[in-house]
Amino acid sequence: MCLAVPVKIINKIDDQNVRVESRGVRFEASTMLIKDVNIGEYVLVHAGFIIQKISKKDAEELIELTK
Partner 1 sequence: MSIARSGIRSMLSKNVNIISGPGCPVCVTPSSDINSVLELVKRHDVIIATFGDMVRVPSGGDSLQNYKNVKIVYNPLESLTLAKSNRDKEIVFIGVGFETTTPLIASVIKKAKADGIKNFSVLCMHKTVPAAIKAILDDKTSKIDGLILPGHVSAVTGSKYFDFIKSYKVTAAITGFEAKEILGSISIMVDNIEAEKHSVINNYRSVVTENGNTVAMKTMYDIFKDTDSDWRGIGNIKLSGLRIRREYEEFDSLKRFNIKQKNIKEAKGCLCGNILMGKNDPVDCGHYGKTCTPSNPIGPCMVSSEGTCAAFYKYMRR
Handedness of CA 32, 36, 40, 43 (dihedral sign): negative
CB of 58 to partner 1, least distance (A): 3
Residues that bind partner 1 (CB under 8 A): 1-4, 30, 32-35, 44, 46-49, 51-52, 54-55, 58-59, 61-62, 65-66
CB of 53 to partner 1, least distance (A): 9
Select from 32, 4, 7, 38 the least CA-distant residue to 17: 32
CB of 12 to partner 1, least distance (A): 17
Q: Which 3 state secondary structure label does DSSP give 3?
A: coil
